[in-house]
Amino acid sequence: MTEDTKALKIEAARAALANVEPGMKLGLGTGSTSEEFVRLLATRVAEGLEIVGVPTSIRTETLCRELGVPLTTLDETPELDLTVDGADEIGPGLALVKGGGGALLREKIVAAASRRMIVIADESKLVEALGRFPLPIEVNAFGLRATMLAIEAAGRRFGLTGEIRLRMADGKPFVTDGGHHIVDASFGRIPATRAFADELNAIPGVVEHGLFIGLASLAILAGRDGIRTIDAQS
């Protein structure tokens, strides 16, 4: 990541912080942009802001603990005011691709439990159609090959082809916080996003996928010309 991109992520995170009010219950995303948000939030907490956060990954939880951000769990606090999270792609209607950082399952559960989700990113994440970024799909380890074939067949029914690859880390299949694996599907442009999301959900070995539809209410994008916001309703 260049210094410029990092600076843009910090600007987007700073703009999102303006939406945080005292007493809020927050969902805290995962990834480098979310990390900047957590760092800025921690500074406000140190100054006396009272909030409580639900982290979407062990990585975010660890950072929050290091920085003194008060945490709760979704079991203790099942309804959240606001989730702030990054994305790999932001498409029309604020449909997102997420999961590049491997936290998509918890991210989706937390976003769905929140009244609002603000997605923060540098402007390079904005796309005309989702699919340039390989779609992360979280799968159960049991029957992995069969699930991969079923994903491939689902893609074909939608005219989507391309490599479907098991994500690796240190020479071994990547394991999510939930103990599953991730398959990255390089389908390219995904036109019927909602219908394809439903198709993936119907595959038994698919735990969750990285298409986030109807969850984000606002995008805060930082670019060279400043901050741009996109409302899901617009």
Ligand X SMILES: O=C(CO)[C@H](O)[C@H](O)COP(=O)(O)O
DSSP letter assigned to residue 93: G
Residue 139, Ramachandran bin (φ over 0: left; ψ between -120 and 50: alpha; else beta): beta
| For helices 32-46 and 58-67, angle between their N-to-C axes, nearest 10 degrees | 30
Least distance in Å: CB of 227 to ligand X? 16
Q: Which positions lie near ligand X, rule CB under 6 A? A: 29-34, 85-88, 98-104, 107
Catalytic pick among 35, 107, 138, 208: 107
Least distance in Å: CB of 150 to ligand X? 23
Least distance in Å: CB of 50 to ligand X? 26
Residue 35 among the catalytic residues = no
Nearer to ligand X, 107 or 199 (CB): 107
Nearer to ligand X, 87 or 218 (CB): 87
- With beta carbons less than 8 A apart as the criterion, state whether 205 and 144 touch: yes
Nearer to ligand X, 127 or 149 (CB): 127
**Ramachandran angles phi, psi of 136, nearest 5°:** -75, 135
DSSP letter assigned to residue 79: -
Q: Say how far apart CA 200 and CA 206 lie, in whole Å.
A: 7
Catalytic residue ranges: 107
**Residues comprising the binding site for substrate?**
30-33, 85-88, 98-101, 125
**Residues comprising the binding site?**
30-33, 85-88, 98-101, 125
